[in-house]
Amino acid sequence: MGFLDGLMGNASEVDVTKLEKDLKDILAGGEQVESGYKVLRDSFIFTNKRLLLVDKQGMTGKKVEYHSIPYKSITHFSVETAGSFDMDAELKIWISGSSEPIGKLFKKDSPIESVQQTLAEHVL
């Protein structure tokens, strides 16, 4: 992902080997990273057991929040693709026990269809 893509919020796929190395202290025994996408400093990581949302915070990004969502807890999700005038695509994920979805905006050229397809493979 180029610097300008990151500033514009375009998602890009991240190398699985790099993700597994970066998350070695977070992953459970037998858990493997299947794919991951990065938007700015945040990441969506799909493992064989859960969806892991990584939120880097602060000026330096050293403070990190890991939001772990077991696939069985996802009640439904929606994807809204970008249009001619609306340049953003949006992914919303509803978790059981929560009335508000987790939402993430993607720029028009981001691979939101790949994210949706990976999510569907695990949830459906």
Task: Tell me the per-residue pLDDT of 77-112, one tens digit each, with 9 for 90 and over.
Answer: 998 887 777 677 888 999 999 899 988 777 777 778
Query: What is the amino acid identity at position 10?
Result: N
User: If pLDDT is split at 50, 70 and 90, which confidence band does 11 have?
Assistant: low
- Helix, strand and coil content of the chain, in percent to the nearest 5, comes to 25, 40, 35
Q: pTM, whole model, 2 decimals?
A: 0.78
Query: How do residues 23-71 score in pLDDT, each as one tens digit?
Result: 999 999 999 999 888 877 788 899 999 999 988 887 776 788 999 999 9
Beta strands in 32-112 (DSSP E): 33-39, 42-47, 50-57, 63-70, 74-80, 88-95, 102-107
What does DSSP assign to residue 18? H
